[in-house]
Homo-oligomer: A and B are copies of this chain.
Amino acid sequence: MRADAKKNYDHLLEVGRELVAEQGADASMRDVARRAGVGIGTLYRHFPTREALLEALLRNSFDQLTAKAGGLETSDSPGEALVSWLRETVAIAHSHRGVIASMTAAIADPDSALHDSCMTMRASGTRLLARAQAEGKARADIDGADLFALLGALAWINDQPSLRSRADHLFGVIASAILVQGVSADD
């Protein structure tokens, strides 16, 4: 990439992050270009779709998440590990308000720029879920796709201003549905 192009790319990313933080994942593409001081065509040259921009914005956070999941996979408390990963994932989605809908759609669309990241992210969660299930700490009747959906539901609640104040409490409610509750016979 030419030096001037790289400078534009980096600046667009920086401005994109600002605007998504301020206005959510559906912020105006024109505003991004405008605030970055480049032509709208330059934005589209670097990020041909909104998903491409979001993917670039999320990459760091997703990599962190993958690293965290890796560490948690050897934790000796698989139930807590799962919940801890869930909590961080919800927080990342919420820090890009509204992005959860794109992520959910991307899972079903191999052509989306967000597809690979989201599949990797979901796979991390699936492994943590499977470990918790293997040790009887998570209910057995859900799979990784269900976990992703519940994560989406929690992110959605977080994203609604009028529900935000209850989001942490509701995280606990849904987490309690994922974790096995009762004392099992062989405890």
Chain A residues within 8 Å of chain B by Cβ, number: 32
Copies in the complex: 2
Decide yes or no whether A134 CB sits under 8 A from chain B.
no
Which of the residues B142, B157, B162 comes within 8 Å of A153, measured between beta carbons? B157
Residue of B nearest to A181 (CB): B181
Tell me the complex Cα distance, A126–B13, Å.
45
Q: How distant is the Cα of A166 from the Cα of B101 in the complex, in angstroms?
A: 16
Complex interface: stretch among A31-39, A44-52, A69-77, A103-111: A103-111
Residue of B nearest to A109 (CB): B162
A: residues with CB less than 8 A from B are 101, 104-105, 107-108, 139, 141-142, 145-146, 149-150, 152-154, 156-157, 160-163, 166-167, 169-170, 173-174, 176-178, 181-182
- 10 closest Cβ pairs, A-B complex: A177-B177, A108-B162, A153-B153, A156-B156, A149-B163, A104-B160, A182-B182, A181-B181, A173-B177, A149-B157
